[in-house]
Amino acid sequence: MTKAAPLTEIWRGDLLESLHRGHVAVVDEAGQLIWAQGDPEALIYPRSSCKMIQGLPLVTSGAADRYGLTPEHLALACASHNAAQIHLDRVGAWMEQLGLEDEAFCCGPQESRDTEVREAMIRAHESPCRIHNNCSGKHAGFLTLTQYMRASADYVAIDHPVQQAVRADFDQLTGVDSPGYAPDGCSAPNFQTTVTGLARAMAWFARVQDGSGRLESAGQRLREAMIAHPDLVAGEGRACTRLMRACQGRAAIKTGAEGVFIAILPEQRLGIALKIEDGATRAAECAIAALLVRYGALDPAHPEARAYLDAPIQNWDGLVTGVMKAGAALR
């Protein structure tokens, strides 16, 4: 097996203090691997980076149209959000439309990542609820599809119709028969695939157009919803939101736990996937920014690009102590 490649460097003075290695795959619209680093056939869990695939059955089934879901709903279905008020208000209204309470979510309670919401809850002596889970938008989508199918409430079970529909789309788009799965942090099944398989699925999202088929139209709707609402896909201060805004419509990007990141580039009709071997988020953010620059979706001079590439590292007194930069292969 090919060894992981050095993707992100942490320098302090003139010493390379830390090095994050990983795997990258870039796939074109024909599903072919055109560039790679490390081992593009490495088997990974995509984690939350594949939420747009998990959202496809919501649209292709007719459930999204039946319930009048807007691009904001679809962006939330693809989100790992901060549980800021902008997210809670919308997911809460969605659940009210379904006539469901917080207990219907199969994801567990999670503390809000939003400072204002979290501190307000502490002052009010309130405990986190399931709606505060960063995956509650995706689960609202699962619940919508479950209700539309008139299926049982245990929608994260591997043999549930919702997850069987997700698995079928996942294998088709990745071009890989997933060899296994495990529960994600939100309890939904997360299917294994290769880095290339994940990039192939993202290349499919990059090339699909409305009117070319039900699945293709659904893919375009989800892609465009993410691009139109980067604030709902993640939130203020998050790399997904910051970099999508900076790309100005040229990319949909999504993080996943344990150092996974994807990019969908419609203009170039390319899909990108990467996995940092040690699971470091900072390294994945730096690497995806470098790849967005490499393939023309992000201006390297944009302040948000510079925040992740050749980014200064400061200590508590504001003194610049080092720099984070993409590895030589990505530069």
Q: Per-residue pLDDT tens for 229-267?
A: 999 999 999 999 999 999 999 999 999 999 999 999 999
> CB neighbours (10 Å) of residue 164?
13
Helix (H, G, I), strand (E, B) or coil at 123: helix
Q: Per-residue pLDDT tens for 15-53?
A: 999 999 999 999 999 999 999 999 999 999 999 999 999
How confident is residue 2, by pLDDT bands cut at 50, 70 and 90? confident
How confident is residue 210, by pLDDT bands cut at 50, 70 and 90? low
CATH architecture observed for domain 5-326: 3-Layer(aba) Sandwich (3.40)
Residue 119 has pLDDT above 70, yes or no: yes
Average pLDDT over residues 142-153: 98
> CB neighbours (10 Å) of residue 216?
17
Residue-level pLDDT at 209: 83
Full-model pTM: 0.97
Average pLDDT over residues 87-101: 98
Residue-level pLDDT at 331: 84
Residue 1 has pLDDT above 80, yes or no: no
Residue-level pLDDT at 174: 98
| CB 89, CB 96: distance < 8 Å | no
Q: Per-residue pLDDT tens for 50-66?
A: 999 999 999 999 999 99
11: left (phi over 0), alpha (psi -120 to 50) or beta: beta
Q: Provide the residue ranges of all domains of the chain, joining segments of one domain with +.
A: 5-326
Residue-level pLDDT at 3: 93
Tokens of 325: 């930069």
